[in-house]
Amino acid sequence: MEENPIGRLMNTTMENVRNVLKTDTVVGDPITTPDGMMLVPISRISMGFGGGGIELNSKRSADTRPYGGGNATGVKIEPIGFLIIKDGNIRMINVTPPANNTVDRIIEMVPQVIDKVDAFIEKQKNND
């Protein structure tokens, strides 16, 4: 079965997008300050992808048949904050505007909830 030109076009584009969208893009390289604090940059990635084409019907062979097509990809990388790690404590500093929906608010609260749970467990251990 012969490969469709649209499929080749889409595969090439997706391979290039995979090269851009890696874990290192979302979670950046840690930065260590002189006082021992570690800052880990965190980003949000949004992506849109679309494409299409047409292969004109012709009596020519598949390799020489007229073809037109294109595709587009948009990638937005937005820094959202830093994880701060110092003395075994982790917290998140946001650099984005306040959350505007419930899911964003919940995600922002996760580090604080984890800190509170850790403190509660430690307190229970000390009471026993």
Task: State the maximum Cα–Cα separation within the chain, in Å, rounded to a whole number.
Answer: 85
Residues of the chain falling short of pLDDT 70? 1-4, 23, 58, 60-64, 97-99
Residue 32: the pLDDT is 92
3-state secondary structure of 92: strand
pTM over 0.75: no
How many other C-beta atoms are found inside a 10 Å radius of the C-beta of residue 17?
Answer: 13
Structure tokens at 46: 């949004």
pLDDT of residue 121: 85
Q: Are 40 and 95 in contact (CB under 8 A)?
A: no
Token pair recorded at residue 116? 């509170």
Phi, psi of 101 (to 5 degrees): -145, 170
The pLDDT of residue 58 is: 66
